[in-house]
Structure 1
Amino acid sequence: MPVLNADALHPITLPNGMVYRDTVHLKHAITHPRMEIGDFSYYTHSGSVEETAGILAPYLFESSREKLVIGRYVQIARGSYFISADANHPMDGFTTYPFRIFTPETFGYPNLPYRDTIVGHDVWICHNATIMSGVTIGHGAIVAAEAVVSRDVPPYAVVGGNPARLIRMRYPQEVIDLLLQVAWWDWPLDKLEANLSILESGDIDALKALA
């Protein structure tokens, strides 16, 4: 029996057969034009499915210049969210009050800097983490609970705190290089499920055999 169902809006079914509706596959819950979501990436929250985009990135509007790009197999825990550039206030003058947003004709501050926010594949964003605008989080990284990420995160790093700092690397560099070469997140689903025990075991020799 397959472990994963790419077409499921709610990917988790509990042992008693009940579908866990607080967790959604983002690709099926979001149609926002400034978001790009990979397969099997999920988010847990208590709102409705229709509210998912607004809970995940409350200041990313359809008219925003930046994008939020989330890779495949990303795991986003309850309470975590993204702060996009449109949440910024002007800071070069004598006031930070955003006068211009209250009139449609002057809405926004187009001269404020922005960058796309990018989350790689197989990233775990833990409970109540905040990801700031323009950050890139590398493949396989872990963002600890309550972290505020304001700088780029290397692949397979564990970061935490406010502002988030490197706690440790998950593996030695040679193992990270191998994981990036293997890129299991690009495999077809049948290959992934056939080798699931290897991915879960941490057996480096078995992983090398798949490279």
Structure 2
Amino acid sequence: MIHKRIKDPKWNLLTRFQLAWEVDQWQWEIGEYTYGKPLVLEPEMAMLKIGNYCSIAPDVTIALGNHRTDLVTTYPFNVLKEYWGNFPEHYEDHDTKGDVIIHDDVWIGKNSIILSGVEIGTGAVIGAHSVVSKSVAPYTIVAGNPARPIKKRFSEEICNRLLKISWWKWEKEKVEKFLPLLLSNDIEKFLTEAEKS
């Protein structure tokens, strides 16, 4: 079971623990210290990859597939085929635009919906109640339905330095050492110290 492979089992809020059966069943990849339990729809349709240190608020939905809209009906007869006679072979009433990839240190706000085929870059923030139908660049804040960029969290130079440092890949001991700087708004000091280490 996946929950036995979690390095620090006291973290029962971790997404890997919360979705242990689904992670094993569908071979999803969920990073270290990511927490929250999203509702994942159509899990068999595509892969789900979530990085380290992501924050997933309550009532987030990730749709790996959806009803087809190019058929006469959008009704999911295939899901309920045991109730119907004369059912055609090789019929699919659901479709996907591809895998959902959520990189490291992403914050997804309450009641947001992530649609299939979307990639969310490292450090991005998804505002509450957003519908994400297109990929999101690293360190970008998006919100709305459909989600649109509001602003970059940092300058391009700072974003590139953060991506190069990749603190979310550090061992726990190094993260703990840098915790006071990680939790400060003195980004330049954090970057300078991290680049020296």
TM-score, normalised to structure 1's length? 0.77
TM-superposed CA distance for 1:171, in Å, is 0.2
| Pairs within 5 Å for 1:192-207 | 192-203=175-186, 204-207=188-191
- Cα distance 1:199–1:139, how it changes in 2: closer, same or farther (>3 A)? same
Farther-moved stretch of structure 1 (102-111 vs 192-201):
102-111
- Cα distance 1:97–1:29, how it changes in 2: closer, same or farther (>3 A)? closer
TM-superposed CA distance for 1:108, in Å, is 6.1
CA distance in 1 between counterparts of 2:179 and 2:90 reads 50
Q: Who is 1:132 aligned against?
A: 115
Number of equivalences: 179
Q: Who is 1:8 aligned against?
A: 10
Aligned partner of 1:178 among 149, 152, 161? 161
Q: Who is 1:13 aligned against?
A: none
Aligned partner of 1:101 among 54, 61, 79? 79
Query: What residue identity is the alignment partner of 1:125?
Result: I
CA deviation vs aligned residue, 1:179-199 (integer Å, no higher than 9, x gap): 000000000000110011111
Report the secondary structure of 1:201's partner residue: coil
Report the secondary structure of 1:78's partner residue: coil
* Identity value in percent: 35
Q: Does 1:28 align with 2:17?
A: yes
CA distance in 1 between counterparts of 2:184 and 2:101 reads 28
**Structure 1 residue ranges (4+ consecutive) displaced by more than 6 angstroms after TM superposition:** none
The alignment yields a C-alpha RMSD, in angstroms, of 2.1
Query: What residue identity is the alignment partner of 2:161?
Result: L
Q: Does 1:90 align with 2:68?
A: yes
| Pairs within 5 Å for 1:100-179 | 100-103=78-81, 109=92, 112-179=95-162
Q: Does 1:38 align with 2:31?
A: yes
Structure 1's unaligned 5+ residue stretches are 11-23, 44-51
